[in-house]
Structure 1
């Protein structure tokens, strides 16, 4: 008899977390594992998904979500209260989850991010069910930003999980120092379909991919970096997000409309072509727990330049596989970029390093690791 597995998730809107979740679930489903999805936010998946998503009663629909956003904004910016900066399930959603688990007899539940808050309560109700907590960010980010108001519940929930999945060795060390056990590093996989194409290193375009979130993704840094590159080079940006209007104003204010080519969100073949139409990849994020776009870019042989942070350090391994600058140091990262811009031999060297490293994140390899974590037999079907 196959194990029945439930992924309790937030939502599947556009973003790296949603993309990885959809790919992992699709691949496990393809291998005929019994997987279901339970989401407290009622949204359609931005990415192809071959499993129906279950929503609880009074799920967070668009109207409720907008109302919650307004309340959060008032509490944070007017009343100056501590708030959760990502939506989280409430007790009603939890009760619906419990009912659904009882009805369907799951042997394993993967609690993604916010759902970890309820891990201890779930363990009390279902002591025989295996609970796996899946973290996509650094613990400090959950404590101080994403789940700041629910911090104590979240930390307590971590202790209620049978095992915890994190994206980097650094984060594993952090959690173990907090006394948490059974912490495992499980990387996100390469999620693009076409993995055989390689970039033309003669193109005078630097690519950037990510959510348009000025602070998190360092788009203010990108503006300053753009001012330093040679006149015949461009930065091509793919992405969309809450700061679209602000980013547009920043580009215009700094007279960079001919230097920064913002192309909006891309997925599938369009995203592949975006990478292939460049010869260098730039990441400007202030913080990333992993940095899936780095792996995607490396898959196509793009030389990498990034700021040092948890995600890029894990993937690039202290400049073994790409050029790394001190976080926020515009001069240093601009100098690293020029090193690649002015020297094709350097681009070719780092292109080979990128291809070499990208193999460590193949989907087949990561899915086998997931099967081991879930305790299900690998399938060759």
Structure 2
């Protein structure tokens, strides 16, 4: 029996949470694997856990810790309320052949290693190397680099980041995220004058400013349906009103899987204007429903679209090029059908069966 622990900071709505539970559940369904999900939080859970073990704080303990943490910000407590407390508590005991650390755990690598010196510990990089080093972990970069050097291996989502991390660790693997939207067989007819977008509403990363600029130049009668919610929703709504784009952009809010299926199948192309992505799971979702993809060129999109073979890649920030491409797709049903066929073929590479096989082959094969 191979004992594997996956880590997560919560099971709230998010890409890391969804992908981690998908992989952990699928591995737990395989004979010969005993899977544990170590969850630092005890709050509303959006994803089901089928792992054999789900370790998390009790609700009372977690709520009391959160209350003290809030009071600590008012300087009524002087304890350091970081994740360290729960990591030290939840990792005590158990035996794991492998521990897969998600990003919130990277700064606490030494604690996990001290508590489980017998385990092979992998870092699972869910975003681009440059973003981690230059943005998310800029203030604690030595801790990140230390964890990368000392870990038994690193899992990346695309080859650009893998090449960069290989400067610190020779054992680097590229394993894509799986398609998590159910394969229903529903496919767009490509007849609707709708462009789908899906992301959190966060301007800097997701390029909401670019989306607004493109919306101002859409072909007549075309509109953007935008699925997702986030911190910049009010700003987005204000900009839509200010620019009189109410007939060009519809904000649909957060959608469940059934609603997402409708969102994609009622569109005729998919747009991704992010400034950076770790992988672009929503792009794969759209491809699974037969949508042609238009995106800015970045390592994640180069990987998913095979350097532009399976979709249209344009230089970062080139909204004029995006508008021109949309116009070509809008005027040419045959062009849409050509890229739709490529999308449907490419998305098969991201099936949970294919991705789980890579995890077993690349990470667990040495004792499997």
CA contact (8 A) 2:88 2:111 kept: no
Please list, as runs of the form range in 1=range in 2, the aligned pairs for 1:155-174 lying within 5 A after superposition: 155-174=145-164
* Alignment deviations for residues 102-129 of structure 1 (CA, whole Å, 9 cap, x no partner): x221221111112122324433443321
Number of the residue aligned with 1:29: 28
Take 1:315 and 1:147, find their aligned partners in 2: how far apart are those partners? Answer: 25
1:136 to 1:59, Cα distance in 2 relative to 1, 3 A: farther
CA contact (8 A) 1:325 1:336 kept: no
How far is 1:190 from its partner? 0.8
Number of the residue aligned with 1:93: 86
Please list, as runs of the form range in 1=range in 2, the aligned pairs for 1:144-163 lying within 5 A after superposition: 144-163=134-153
CA contact (8 A) 1:43 1:61 kept: no
* 2:270 is the alignment partner of 1:281: yes
* Alignment deviations for residues 285-333 of structure 1 (CA, whole Å, 9 cap, x no partner): 1101210011111111100101111211111122101011111111011
* Alignment deviations for residues 324-368 of structure 1 (CA, whole Å, 9 cap, x no partner): 111111101111111111111110111111111111111111011
Range that drifts further, 153-162 or 88-97: 88-97
* Alignment deviations for residues 189-216 of structure 1 (CA, whole Å, 9 cap, x no partner): 1111124222111111100011111111
How far is 1:53 from its partner? 3.8
CA contact (8 A) 1:89 1:114 kept: no
* 1:136 aligned residue (93, 101, 126): 126
Take 2:109 and 2:246, find their aligned partners in 1: how far apart are those partners? Answer: 48
Q: Provide the secondary structure at the position in 1 that maps to 2:277.
A: coil
* Number of equivalenced pairs: 358
How far is 1:60 from its partner? 7.8
1:341 to 1:64, Cα distance in 2 relative to 1, 3 A: farther
* 2:340 aligned residue (342, 345, 351): 351
* Alignment deviations for residues 58-101 of structure 1 (CA, whole Å, 9 cap, x no partner): 65889459849979xxxxxxxxxxxxxxxx953322321441xx
TM-score, with length taken from structure 2: 0.90
Please list, as runs of the form range in 1=range in 2, the aligned pairs for 1:14-93 lying within 5 A after superposition: 14-32=13-31, 33-51=33-51, 53-56=54-57, 59=62, 63=66, 67=70, 90-93=83-86
* Alignment deviations for residues 131-180 of structure 1 (CA, whole Å, 9 cap, x no partner): 1110101222222322333221111111121011000011111112x232
TM-score, with length taken from structure 1: 0.87
Q: Provide the secondary structure at the position in 2 that maps to 1:5.
A: strand
1:350 to 1:66, Cα distance in 2 relative to 1, 3 A: farther
How far is 1:54 from its partner? 2.3
Number of the residue aligned with 1:5: 4
1:152 to 1:43, Cα distance in 2 relative to 1, 3 A: farther
Please list, as runs of the form range in 1=range in 2, the aligned pairs for 1:160-199 lying within 5 A after superposition: 160-176=150-166, 178-199=167-188
Number of the residue aligned with 1:294: 283
Take 2:297 and 2:211, find their aligned partners in 1: how far apart are those partners? Answer: 15
Take 2:350 and 2:141, find their aligned partners in 1: how far apart are those partners? Answer: 31
Take 1:89 and 1:368, find their aligned partners in 2: how far apart are those partners? Answer: 35
1:250 to 1:70, Cα distance in 2 relative to 1, 3 A: farther
1:150 to 1:354, Cα distance in 2 relative to 1, 3 A: same
How far is 1:374 from its partner? 4.4
Take 1:319 and 1:60, find their aligned partners in 2: how far apart are those partners? Answer: 48
Take 1:323 and 1:365, find their aligned partners in 2: how far apart are those partners? Answer: 25
Gaps of at least 5 residues in structure 2 are: 75-80
Number of the residue aligned with 1:84: none
